[in-house]
Structure 1
Amino acid sequence: MASQPPPFPSNQSFVHLDSLSLNMLLSPDRLMPHLLAYLPTLGPSIYSVPGLFYKLPSPSSTTTTSSTAAESSTTTSPNSLSLKTCCSTNPSFPYLSVRMKTEFPSNSSFLPPLPGMHCVVSLFHSLTGVPLASLNGASLAYLRLSALSGLASDLLSLPSSTTLLIIGSCEYAHLVTAHRTARPSINRIIVYNPNFSKAQDFVCELCLREPESSTVIFDYAKDLDQVIGMADIVCCAAYRTTNVPIVKGKLLKAGAHLDLVGSLTYEMKECDDDVFSRGRAFVEEIAMNEAGKFVDFAGTLTELAGGKMQGRKTYDDVTLFKAVGSARFDLLVAQFAYESHIKLSNFALV
């Protein structure tokens, strides 16, 4: 006798959530408690499959009849496709996600220029394989990173933190919201970017978002080394293309918390080794091909959230959180966005 299929998370048809939809549905202050609640309970039942990376053939290789020539062209092409998959084995959380990202560096040469990176996250029912939703991968990534940074700050930074230093640009504006959610005591925000005009633009954007009653001071810096020792929380969101560290550990103030979210490989160094000799480091998730080579971490964010690891041991500890782009958190954020959309749609029909 044929068995009945397992129940679906909803009876809705397939949905697509673009950037605007995701930013309307989600925010760091909503995602942070969601992650904190789900990580300790669902962590053991969520499995990440080893990622796949493909070099894509250049256009010239598609017209080449020689397989050897085509393979040679493929290995030298800068274009690529990468896949990351995550699946839940918990019947009460029946989801599977796949992140598909393409990188085409030459897109910047078009008129008008196109982004070099594009990303889509697909969500499936993990007990049947039925597709449920597609989500804008870039927007989901920004929201995920911000929520993880805010959660790590809540678990590791000093409750008395007042000064936040952002190293990066306005692409990561959600990070400011996340850290301020974790530490409402923040009353000064400093922005540093090697491109000084971008730092100025980011500060202007932050000021425009701020209510008139706000007493928070926004500023930008030309010299990172001069301001880094002033910050209680340092958020490094600058994408690295060199192995020259941005953050010098000896310049961090006692008790500082360092948040590293800009780069995903050991070679793209965001900080020097002095940081690790001064305190305790935690990672989003152990990934040997990404941050696992970086340093010996004290533990993961999941262990911190579940109370299995102690974070800060002393007031003067320098703490560190390193994001690695784990597929596990793609799944949790995609699930939350999908279910939020379904609830909102059902409410609108009432």
Structure 2
Amino acid sequence: MLDVGVNGYGTIGKRVADAVAAQPDMELVGVAKTRPNFEAERAVAKGYPLYAAIEERADQFVKADIELAGLVDELVAESDVVVDATPSGIGAENKALYEDHDTPALYQGGEDAEMVDVSFNARANFADASGADHVRVVSCNTTGLSRLVAPLEEEYGIEKVRATLVRRAGDPAQSGRGPVNDILPNPISLPSHHGPDVQTIFPELAIDTLGLKVPATLMHMHSVNVSLDAEPDAAEVRELLDGESRLFVVPEKFGIDGAGKLKEFALDAGRPRGDLWENCLWGESVSMEGNDLYLFQAIHQESDVVPENVDAVRAVAGTADAAESVETTNDALGIGF
């Protein structure tokens, strides 16, 4: 069994903790939180040992009547691998802590690629993380694009990717995020950071990305054009993508016309928190014009990186290859509709 700690128990951390706890080959050592709140209370209610991420604030948990198992240093010392799910920039500050305990660490996509040994996507470069000390699980949008690029590159070859990302303004719980009534080029200069980030997974890929930020909270939306090195028909491409375990090709008969209905579908399907771990790709949007592929896909920013973090744990520890890990993770979480 792999002993796994999760440092940071917010939007991503609590989902990763649940995913780790569900794995047959992993044990959740505990989770770390900076302050007492409803998430800390829920962690303890679930039976997750809770550690204070900041020693000076440990007394706040006592005053809130929330039981602590110890401090974050103890969590790191007891873990074979730590998943750092702290806000962007904090992972870099925590790097020395993990090195002090000689504990391999996974970071989220908001950290700089330069601070880690490898950026990770399970579908594209699982083996590159084997034995690494510091691994960055790329962001939700980069994860979504990498999952799409990998099978297309393998089957047809890619001349160039062009993607416009319509990004949600914030997560549902982020009341301080905006815009409220605006549509913002984000960034105004080109490219957006997503293309260069995809190139941390596919260094030779030609890709241009643009970003917009809109007043929505549910999901990101991608409008994607891929110039292929071949000219397959749309049905063939659709079949290829439908065969990918973390691509959900939404059937036209479902009548799902946007992110709202996707989330409703996930809730009706019994998904925890209405999570969509897969890229959600509209089957009828898959179109070919010569060698140009066009499609729309939606990315659930709160959850698509969760199975990637689980797979990265195994990659770092060297306990499974890519196919074995993805299958185990998918089965444990119930990925696939």
Q: Same fold (TM over 0.5)?
A: no
| TM-score normalized with structure 2 length | 0.34
Larger radius of gyration: 1
| TM-score normalized with structure 1 length | 0.33
